[in-house]
Amino acid sequence: VTWPLKQASVDVGTLAVTGAKFDSSYDRSAPFQFHLGLGEVIKGWDEGVAKLSLNETARLYIPSHLGYGASGAGSGVIPPNADLIFDVHLLAINGVQISPKVSIKQVVAGDGKTFPLAGDRVTVHYVGSFLNGDKFDSSRDRNSPFSFTLGKKTVIRGWEEGIPQLSIGEVAKMTIPYQLAYGEHGRSGIPPKSDLVFEVELLKIEKGSAV
């Protein structure tokens, strides 16, 4: 069997018990490449990455027997019998690159028929977090919904592309690659090349003129 080449970006690899980071391809600015199913990586990666589709982000929980086992690795960096967590973004298969896009997972259905368009003013509640679950911003914590006009480019591109896919009343998780967020440089409180997750509730749509 010939397996495809998988190119994966490891945002964060952490120890399940302590939460300590031990590896990140983002820190090296170099996506990691390997051949699937040939034993080039730990068994948990061979099994977990095989279940991902192109451009998918996922958290892999890998028990020690599918990781580095009783021996550990890295001269003690990964202790013996350590369970591991990897946040992974699958960038390419067989070397085929993809354009970054927003991934949307519905949490609560909206009306399914009323969607915002460019020029409409929308009001949302949101919680923003990194792939590891750490929260960096929340309109709910402030008890202050956020409003903006679609198409005016006053928000990140991932929002401009993702919000129009939600119907009124919908709650969804939008996973936004860094290219559609704050890019290679980041911003205050957001490191460079950070993929972000926003749980968004579309509260209100005020019809406007086309932008």
Per-residue pLDDT of the chain (211 residues; tens, 9 = 90+): 234 455 555 556 667 667 788 888 877 777 888 888 778 889 999 899 888 888 888 899 999 999 999 999 988 889 999 999 998 888 877 766 567 889 899 999 999 999 999 999 999 999 999 988 999 999 999 999 999 999 999 999 999 999 999 999 999 999 999 999 999 899 999 999 899 999 999 999 999 876 6
Q: What is the model's pLDDT at position 95?
A: 63
Give catalytic residue positions: 126, 136-137, 156, 182, 198
- Side chain identity at 56, as an amino acid letter? E
pLDDT at 92: 78
Amino acid, single-letter form, for residue 201: E
Torsions phi, psi for 23 (to 5 deg):
-160, 150
CA 1 to CA 125: how far, in whole Å? 48
d(CA 175, CA 198): 7
Cα-based angle 8, 11, 14 (whole degrees, multiple of 5): 115
Q: What is the pLDDT of residue 8?
A: 56
Enter the tokens of residue 73.
């690795």
What domains, with CATH codes, occur in the chain? 5-93 (3.10.50.40), 103-206 (3.10.50.40)
* Alpha-carbon torsion angle 111, 112, 117, 121, nearest 10: 20
pLDDT of residue 14: 66
